[in-house]
Structure 1
Amino acid sequence: MTGRRQALAAALVLGCLWHPVAAEDMVTHEVQPGDTLIGLSDRLLESPSQWPVVARLNAVVQPRRLQPGKRLRIPVSLLKGQARPATVLYVRGQVLRGLGQAPGRPVGIGDQLDEGEVLSVGPDSYASLRLHDGSQVHVQAGTRVALDRLRQVTESGRSSTSLELQRGRVDTQVTPQRGGSRFDVRTPLAVAGVRGTRFGVTVDAEGALTLSDVVQGQVAVQALGGRTAAAPVSAGQGAVVRRAMGGAAVRPLLPAAEVSALPALVQRLPWTLAWPSVAGARAYRVQIAEDETLTRVLLSREVAQPSVVAPELPEGEHVLNIRAIDPDGLVGREATRRVRVKTQPVPPLAQSPGPDEAVPTGAVALACTEVPEAAAYRWEWQRGDGAWPEPGAPARPGVQERTAAGPCAWTLDATEPGRYRWRVATQWRRADGSIDEGPFGDEARFVAVVRPEAPEPLIEVGEQVRVHWQGAPGTRFDIELSPDPTFARDVQKRSVGSPEVQWPMPSWCRPYYLRLRAVSPEGMASAFSPPRLLHGEAGVCSGDGQPVSTGHGLRLGHGRP
């Protein structure tokens, strides 16, 4: 850490035991006959010239004459170690590696990252690393972190790991460390050191704020340069260190979100998930991973509202992790839920009857699109508006089902009038011969309606044609008038809502026919009534079949001359 950073720094020391922040982790070496401090330093220390530090620490006056059996304390930070690379377990999006400020090159799964390298994770990206001791580091989007020290101290079997978090966030899962080992995350303001715990560290883009949240383990927090004593922080608490603060503010993390009502099975993507808001939260961090350790994260979003749309996800078991974020940016307690994604094989699409189409009661032909390689289709149907059974649950009363191979078509007996609903799922045959069934598609609906009877018209002919008949309330009636008894040409049409109509006669020069039909409120039409020939008084007509009138507008030969 530079002198400028040291002038700003506060420290967070996280560990399984409470101890002063200023205390240095030590290893103990028992002096053997012939040992000298110079020789031990050359053999054990990263920089042998640091032997005076060990001498002062152990009150050694004669470095060339050590008493056999004497136990020397040696700071772990001075010990020589063998560099052990970190292994890339998972990468999503843009993740680059490099040295210093040099342009980076892409990182792939299985790559080995050496001590001193810098990892840069772009927006909407993610990386997981495994260290030589089994610890994992999950690097979030928008983060830049340097792998300052990745060492295993061969003399003692201890390890020394130090990460420099320049911006962004890392979440760590540190395996229990042997006494004298070190694992720390350094930021421009703070140092977080652990011995086997789960914790996260966040630093803002300006380096003026460091946040640490603890999931497991115990924490000791003390601001360097301040006069406040170190304060204990337990799991479920967090610490806020600001550049201008004289100490670290410790407080409980926000409670876990309530996710028990979220579905355990997702059969439709994209998936919109929502949960109750957490009091005091300004945002939420949502992650969906393929594993419980959140190593292979498929989605990682920070959202202002308690909802998010999950995009395409692969088939299989997933872990949902939601954490509320307080106004300072401190990440709250975890809420997790296992979710199974099962969208294959895809369901067919309903083709006929059309949506909410009215069809005559009786045998109704259902048809849907074919799914390639389908072994069979499973149908469910019911009359009315009851709920469908949940996946894997017993059938509900009123819900009937059938499974059949062959085309995606079937004839349903809808003798009883009313609303019918149906849906279909596809079945594939696995290599071992077992059946793999996908989710049901969207329900399709139709209305089975008793076809109305054709009305029997009563016709009165004069200057106007008056037609009336018997009709049920809410029924619509279609009336047609044509000189062609087959109604193939010159058809005049009218639709009315009451059981009568008046119609001016177009001409008495040729015969005209009338017919009508009833249309129910659901849109079901009866057959047309038989054509009725209209009779009236004959008139005088021209050669082209048009009526001849006097200058006063009266038709010749009709009524009076």
Structure 2
Amino acid sequence: MFFLSHTRSIRTLLLATLMASSPMTMASDAMHAYTVQANDNLYQIAAKLLNRPSDWQTVAKLNAIANPNLLQPGSTVQIPVRLMRGAPQTAQILYLRGEVKIIAGPNKGKNPVVGQTLREGDTIAASAGAWLGLGLQDGSQMYVSPNSQFKLQRLRSIPQAQTQQTELTLKRGRADFAVQPQPAGARFEVKTPLAVTGVRGTRFGVALNEQSKQTLTDLVEGKVVFTAGQETALEAGNGIVMARGQAAQIQALPAAPEWQHPIQRIDKLPYTLPLQYNATNPRLLAQLETTSNPSQIVWLSNDAQPTLNGPIADGHYLLRVRTISAEGLAGKELLTPIQIKTSPAAPLIQAPLQAALVPSGKVPLICAGEDDAKGYLFQTSTQIDFGSNTQEEMIEGARCRWDSQLDTPQQYFWRVATLEHDAQGDWQRGPFSAATAFTVVKAPSSPEAKVSYGEHLRVQWAGEALTTYQLQIARDREFSAPVLDLQLTEPEATLAIPLGCFDYFIRIKSTNQYGMSSEFSKPRRLNTPAVLCSSNGSGLVDGHGKPLRIAD
């Protein structure tokens, strides 16, 4: 089922006539005033102008002509436009999807293709999952739904009356129309076994169920006059349901669906449209069409949860969604301009990965992109939808990395998209990678030791819960050969180190509960007590093994 894009505004009230299957009365026909020429007779006029020359009798009766051979030159003969032959016109296939066949008419058996010309008598069948769009010579458009069949009954211009006649027969399924305003005397009719819809310029749809027991017309724009014994005006936003053998019923079209949240851009296919569920009328009809003129329908769905799926080229589109009533009427339209941008592909996330723990500070966000990438757009946020508290950074070049400053311990999400230039040279991004959650924890700090010396060396520093420490003492700042290398669980230690005539240096680093380690603290020279030393620099000891300290 289709809904038409019709960009031309309709400034005046556009009338249409929806009638039972009986034809229009002659009195309502538009007339062409023919001026009789010398040597004319009614037979010649009928052969020249009428679709069926035998209809001269109808013309004679209408004009009270007693003798068809005796016509006064210069007099006027009124000829119903509906009887005139006119010049055949054509239709053109604007687009098609799926299996479409021409099952009768001049082009029977030919394989339909875009741009193909169709003629009067051609009967087209679209299988389930197939659809097509036709353009008529006056600019009107016809869109045929899946599992539908129609015939181009009559496509004529009537140059003598400066008007035209279009008759289309819907044999099964549904067709939607965007009809250009018609000239005076024109007829644009869509016939089904149950009714005829005649229009002067409007947007509407006609449907016929498979058993031909019920026909529907839903009016989006314009006005329709429904005639079945008596005339009833149908305003835009209403529809007509008529079952075989029953009176037609006018019903208000269902309200337009609503979004759970608005959408402007779709980065990934398939994509389920976030529409609010309607328990009363759960069925939805959705279509995606190009913004070109004429537009082309590239996707459609009649599911309760419409899901866009490809292939659909990147670009700007118009999305139309309608609710379907229990009787089958298509409701008012929810119109949403959207952009589909599924390329270039998002980079691969390398670090941090999902659920990773990283220390606060500068957090390297690393990804793998294409070698010829022009740049990347990074985002971090505390919200998975990136709706708030979002930072972003554009990085030019093929190196896929951003060092993001994240000082507050909490959960974050990050994602990245590849950048490219459009035809105007402006940056355009592709789809983002999936949001990756990671947690920033407080980075362990390098302890600063407080040192005192009594009988032994005592070292203390500010500690943190669930933290371990590595303490090293060496005789050189490079710690090439540590004298002590201890793993400690408490922020203090009492150490026995041999005193001598040489320097000692100390450094400490901490490791938190997540296994993250700080840098070693800056090497610090220990202020050890002065002792008497031997020639090799070792401290001398007394008989009890205690260093011989030099008195202050």
Task: Tell whether the structures are fold-level matches, with TM greater than 0.5.
Answer: yes
Partner of 2:308: 310
**Residue 142 of structure 2 aligns with which residue?**
137
Residue 294 of structure 1: how far off its partner (Å):
7.7
Cα gap change, 1:323/1:418 in structure 2, threshold over 3 Å: closer, same or farther? Answer: closer
Q: Is the 8 A contact 1:451 1:524 kept in 2?
A: no
Q: 1:119-178 CA distances to partner (integer Å, 9 max, x unpaired)? A: 111112211111122211111111111111112223223222111111011111112222
TM-score normalized by the length of structure 1 = 0.71
Q: Which residue of 1 aligns with 2:114?
A: 109
Which residue matches 1:354?
Answer: 353
Output the CA distance in 2 between the equivalents of 1:330 and 1:525.
Answer: 64
Displacement of 1:317 in angstroms is: 0.9
| 2:440 is the alignment partner of 1:448 | yes
**Are residues 332 and 414 of structure 1, via their aligned partners in 2, closer, same or farther at CA, if it must alter by over 3 Å?**
closer
- Counterparts of 1:199-218 in structure 2, within 5 Å, are 199-218=204-223
Q: CA deviation at 1:315?
A: 1.1
| 2:47 partner amino acid | D
* CA deviation profile, 1:529-557 (whole Å, cap 9, x unmatched): xxxxxxxxxxxxxxxxxxxxxxxxxxxxx
The residue number in structure 1 matching 2:413 is: 421
CA contact (8 A) 1:347 1:424 kept: yes
2:197 and 2:424 mapped to 1: Cα distance?
53
Contact 1:209–1:240, Cα closer than 8 Å, also in 2: yes
Aligned match of 2:32: 28
Deviates more, 1:113-122 or 1:149-158: 149-158
What is the alpha-carbon distance in structure 1 between the residues aligned to residue 390 and residue 178 of structure 2?
A: 52
Residue type at the aligned position of 1:214: L
Whichever residue aligns with residue 174 of structure 1, its letter is V
Task: Report the equivalent of 1:194.
Answer: 199
Q: Contact (CA 8 Å) 2:284, 2:306: kept in 1 or not?
A: no
Q: Does 1:265 align with 2:269?
A: no
Aligned to 2:78: 73
Structure 1 residue 55 and structure 2 residue 52: aligned?
A: no
- Paired with 1:28 and 1:250, the residues of 2 have a C-alpha distance of 35
Q: 1:290-301 residue pairs with structure 2 within 5 A?
A: 290-291=290-291, 295-301=295-301
Partner SS state of residue 428, structure 1: strand
List per-residue Cα deviations over 1:230-254 (Å, max 9, x = no partner): 2221222211221121x32222222
Structure 1, 231-240 or 28-37: larger mean CA deviation: 28-37
| SS class of match (1:440) | coil
Unaligned runs of 5+ in 1: 1-13, 390-395, 454-470, 478-516, 528-561
Where does 1:389-538 land on structure 2 (aligned, <5 Å)?
399=391, 401-414=393-406, 417-430=409-422, 433-450=425-442, 520=513, 523-524=514-515
Q: Once the 2 structures are TM-superposed, how far is the Cα of residue 205 of structure 1 from its aligned partner?
A: 0.7
Question: How much has 1:519 moved relative to structure 2?
Answer: 7.5
Question: What are the Cα deviations for residues 278-314 of structure 1, in whole angstroms up to 9, with x where unaligned?
Answer: 57425221111113778411111112x3x31111332
Are 1:83 and 2:85 counterparts?
Answer: no
Is contact 1:30–1:69 with CA below 8 Å preserved after alignment? no
Instruction: Check the 8 A contact 1:30/1:68 in 2, yes or no.
Output: no
> Which amino acid is the alignment partner of residue 374 of structure 1?
A
Q: Is 1:234 matched up with 2:239?
A: no
Counterpart-to-counterpart distance in 2, 1:37 and 1:402: 81
Q: Give the letter aligned to residue 426 of structure 1.
A: T
CA distance in 2, matches of 1:215, 1:41: 40
Greater alpha carbon shift after TM alignment, 412-421 vs 22-31: 412-421
Instruction: Measure the CA separation in 2 of the matches of 1:402 and 1:277.
Output: 38
Deviations 1:321-379 (A, max 9, x none): 11111111121222211111123222212112221112344554432112242112232
| Pairwise CA RMSD | 3.3
1-structure distance, mates of 2:285, 2:423: 40
Q: Give the CA deviation at 1:97.
A: 1.3
Residues 403/180 of structure 1: CA separation in 2 closer, same or farther (3 Å cut): same
Cα displacement string for residues 371-397 of structure 1 (whole angstroms, at most 9, x for unaligned residues): 242112232335x448635xxxxxx66
Contact 2:34 2:79 in 1 (8 A): no
Aligned to 2:227: 222
Identify if the C-alpha distance between structure 1 residues 518 and 296 changes in structure 2 by more than 3 Å, giving closer, same or farther: same
Q: Could you say if the C-alpha distance between residues 274 and 101 of structure 1 is closer, same or farther in structure 2, counting changes exceeding 3 Å?
A: farther
The count of corresponding residues between Structure 1 and Structure 2 is: 442
Q: Which moved more, 1:414-423 or 1:129-138?
A: 414-423
Distance 1:167 1:518 in 2: 75
* CA shift in 2, pair 1:276/1:82, >3 Å: same
- The answer to whether structure 1 residue 253 and structure 2 residue 253 are counterparts is yes
How has the CA–CA distance of structure 1 residues 524 and 203 changed in structure 2, closer, same or farther, with 3 Å as cutoff? same
Q: How does 1:93-108 map to 2 (within 5 A)?
A: 93-99=98-104, 104-108=109-113
User: TM-score, with normalisation over the residues of structure 2?
Assistant: 0.72
Distance 1:172 1:293, change over 3 A: farther
CA contact (8 A) 2:261 2:274 kept: no
Q: Is the 8 A contact 1:129 1:137 kept in 2?
A: yes
Q: How high is the sequence identity, in percent, across the aligned residues?
A: 32
Match of 1:150 among 137, 155, 158: 155
What displacement does 1:430 show?
4.9
Q: Distance in 1 between matches of 2:368 and 2:289?
A: 34
Q: Structure 1 residues 364 and 142 mapped into 2: Cα distance closer, same or farther (>3 Å)?
A: same
Amino acid at match of 1:135: S
